[in-house]
């Protein structure tokens, strides 16, 4: 290089050194904050997360964009696990969101662990995550945005139909993915453990204490605001829900699926016992607790439940006379008297009376007895307390000796009514739920909206006996929520036992034995409505 060229290059380098260095934030600094807010709010979640790390000012704008809670949910019926997960992931992450919890529900055609691994790879390993199998999924399609209630038929574990000879075509392939951002709350998954050394010993006291200890550590009080339960189909959830009902104030909402299969991941690594040689997990609870370190300017999230019941009473009240339990079959044999009558009735006589009452409905209704149980319940060293509950037992059959029902825990002198599955009652109940949600909507639309709660999401737990085959038309269970809040995410499942317990149901509906608590339902749909009340504007 000659001297002139070297001199020219040196001058250019010195001039370059004098030029101000620019960053991504510097290049966009002339942009108005409102315009930048508009741009960032349109980014998908992953790009939004990157943008929040660019500078302090960008982070502040991103925090303002996500200052309110958000629920994102989508379903896919694609038969390929990878394709289905890709569809729902892309949909729930299409807008800004910071996952505080993840819930996935799948059909039995997908393997739990495979879907668990695929979702964890995309959403990270630090977010509380529960995945379960269900009898169907309810939500909006990731591709078409169409609202769907998809209920799968009875299938064998290998993906065949009932006679296990013909491969089922896509009937049980599907996934529903829900991601929640809930500022002002802390969320974690806490398992109910059972020792491998003492397989009959469920660590129920530890489960309750783990919930209370976690809640106390993050909120300063011992009671969460909501619990979402997922049980294993091989265990009896009744004692567990009874223990929660006893231990938690009525302000704590409890919803969930009594029977299924699940995997979970807790934010606390010590609770993740999958593959452990010491413990099995019989159930898992997603715990929602108030955040004692809630950022300033954040309002409050409320959880409310509504019940659409699907059974009606049949005949007179009865009193159990002779009761035998068959623990091997987890069933009960009993005789009973009609209230006000002295004679004892065997199973065949009881069923004949009920069939006479049912008339045209005898062949089309599933039959239950709803037993009023007054029991002393205690936890640990606490003093026992009398709790009156209504528990349903499916009627299996009857003969000239006994009436046979599923489940155990019935005692001599317990009173019960017969109940039948009833689509007309269920439809009327859905209409009542819709009216209650309509009132919430009208409150949202009032002139003083800044002081009113705004619904931002919902969950549904519907009995697997409901759906199109029960009502004779599609999307009945979801309609109360969808019609009142058409743009609000709703995630639901068809399940094998609906758990629903809360302070005051939106509908105010109750069973005939309304003095008794009923936390585990049959032929019902439980609606969990999530709303947010912003702080009042300062003047």
pLDDT digits (tens, 9 = 90+) for 199-258: 777 899 999 999 999 999 999 898 999 999 999 988 889 999 999 999 999 999 999 999
User: What integer pLDDT is reported at residue 505 of this predicted model?
Assistant: 58
Q: What does the block give as tokens for 307? A: 């019940």
Contacts of 62 (CB under 8 A, 6+ apart): 40, 48, 51, 52, 96
Residue 454 has pLDDT above 60, yes or no: yes
Taking the CB of residue 326, how many other CB atoms lie within 10 A of it? 11
Asked if pLDDT for residue 44 goes beyond 50, the answer is yes
> Quick one: tokens of 186?
């802390």
Lowest mean pLDDT among 259-268, 271-280, 311-320, 382-391: 271-280
For CA atoms 477, 480, 481, 482, the dihedral sign is positive
Can you give the pLDDT at residue 4? 46
pLDDT at 252: 96
| Torsion angle of the four alpha carbons 458, 86, 126, 219, in this order, in degrees rounded to the nearest 10 | -10
Mean pLDDT score of the chain, rounded to an integer?
A: 86
3-class DSSP state of 113: helix
Does residue 88 surpass a pLDDT of 60? yes
Asked if residue 18 has pLDDT above 50, the reply is no
Residue 349 CB contacts under 8 Å (≥ 6 apart), including other chains: none
Two structure tokens written together for 438: 């309509």
In terms of C-beta density within 10 A (0-12 exposed, 13-18 middle, 19 or more buried), how is residue 13 classed? exposed
What is the per-residue pLDDT across 92-108, written as a single tens digit (0 to 9) for each? 999 999 999 999 999 99
CB-CB contact of 142 with 76 (8 Å): yes
Query: How high is the pLDDT of residue 104?
Result: 98
What's the rounded Cα separation, in Å, for the pair 119 and 104? Answer: 9
pLDDT > 90? residue 394: yes
410-413's contacts with Cβ under 8 Å and 24+ in sequence apart are 410/320, 410/323, 410/325, 410/332, 410/334, 410/371, 410/373, 411/320, 411/323, 411/373, 412/320, 412/321, 412/322, 412/323, 413/319, 413/320
Sequence-ordered list of residues with C-beta below 8 angstroms from that of 85, at least 6 positions apart, any chain: 76, 115, 118, 119, 122, 175, 177
Residue 456 has pLDDT above 60, yes or no: yes
**CA angle (164 as vertex; 158, 167 as ends), nearest 5:** 65
162 pLDDT exceeds 60?
no
Q: Take residue 184 and report the two structure tokens written for it.
A: 């002002």
Angle, vertex CA 262, rays to CA 223 and CA 116, nearest 5: 110
- Tell me: pLDDT of 133 over 60: yes
pTM of structure: 0.88
CA dihedral sign, ordered 435, 521, 499, 513? positive
The radius of gyration computed from the CA coordinates of the chain, to the nearest angstrom, equals 27
Report pLDDT for 63: 82
């Amino acid at each position: 290089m000659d001297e002139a060229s070297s001199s020219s290059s040196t001058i250019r380098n010195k001039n370059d050194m004098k030029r101000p260095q620019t960053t991504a934030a510097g290049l966009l600094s002339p942009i108005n904050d409102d315009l930048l807010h508009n741009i960032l709010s349109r980014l998908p979640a992953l790009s939004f997360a990157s943008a929040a790390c660019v500078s302090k000012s960008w982070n502040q704008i991103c925090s303002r964009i996500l200052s309110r809670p958000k629920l994102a949910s989508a379903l896919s019926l694609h038969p390929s696990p990878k394709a289905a997960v890709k569809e729902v992931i892309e949909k729930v992450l299409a807008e800004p969101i910071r996952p505080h919890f993840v819930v996935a529900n799948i059909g039995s055609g997908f393997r739990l662990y495979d879907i668990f691994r695929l979702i964890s790879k995309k959403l990270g390993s630090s977010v509380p995550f529960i995945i379960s199998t269900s009898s169907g999924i309810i939500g909006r399609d990731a591709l078409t945005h169409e609202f769907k209630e998809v209920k799968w038929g009875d299938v064998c574990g290998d993906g065949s139909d009932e006679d296990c000879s013909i491969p089922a075509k896509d009937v049980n392939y599907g996934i529903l993915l829900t991601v929640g951002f809930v500022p002002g709350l802390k969320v974690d998954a806490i398992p109910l453990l059972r020792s491998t050394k003492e397989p009959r010993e469920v660590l129920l006291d530890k489960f309750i204490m783990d919930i209370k200890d976690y809640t106390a550590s993050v909120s300063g009080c011992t009671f969460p605001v909501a619990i979402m339960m997922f049980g294993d189909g091989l265990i009896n959830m009744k004692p567990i829900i009874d223990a929660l009902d006893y231990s938690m104030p009525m302000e704590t909402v409890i919803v969930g699926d009594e029977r299924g299969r699940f995997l979970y991941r807790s934010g606390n690594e010590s609770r993740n016992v999958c593959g452990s040689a010491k413990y099995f997990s019989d159930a898992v609870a997603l715990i929602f607790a108030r955040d004692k370190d809630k950022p300033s300017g954040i309002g409050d999230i409320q959880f409310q439940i509504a019940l659409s019941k699907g059974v009606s009473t049949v005949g007179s009240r009865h009193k159990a006379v002779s009761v035998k339990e068959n623990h091997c079959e987890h069933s009960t044999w009993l005789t009973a008297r009609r209230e006000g009558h002295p004679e004892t009735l065997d199973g065949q006589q009881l069923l004949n009376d009920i069939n006479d009452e049912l008339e045209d409905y005898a062949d089309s209704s599933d039959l239950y007895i709803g037993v009023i149980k007054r029991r002393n319940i205690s936890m640990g060293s606490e003093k026992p307390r009398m709790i009156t509950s209504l528990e349903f037992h499916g009627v299996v059959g009857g003969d000239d000796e006994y009436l046979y029902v599923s489940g155990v825990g019935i005692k001599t002198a317990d009173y019960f009514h017969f109940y039948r599955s009833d689509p007309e009652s269920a439809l009327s109940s859905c209409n009542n739920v819709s009216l209650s949600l309509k009132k919430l909507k009208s409150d949202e639309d009032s002139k003083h909206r800044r002081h009113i709660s705004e619904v931002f999401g919902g969950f549904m737990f519907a009995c697997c006996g409901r759906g199109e085959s029960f009502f004779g038309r599609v999307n009945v269970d979801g309609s109360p929520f969808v019609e009142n809040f058409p743009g609000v995410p709703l995630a639901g499942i068809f399940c094998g036992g609906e758990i629903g317990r809360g302070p005051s149901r939106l509908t105010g509906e109750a069973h005939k034995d309304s003095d008794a608590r009923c936390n585990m339902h049959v032929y019902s749909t439980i609606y969990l409505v999530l709303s947010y009340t912003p702080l009042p504007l300062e003047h």
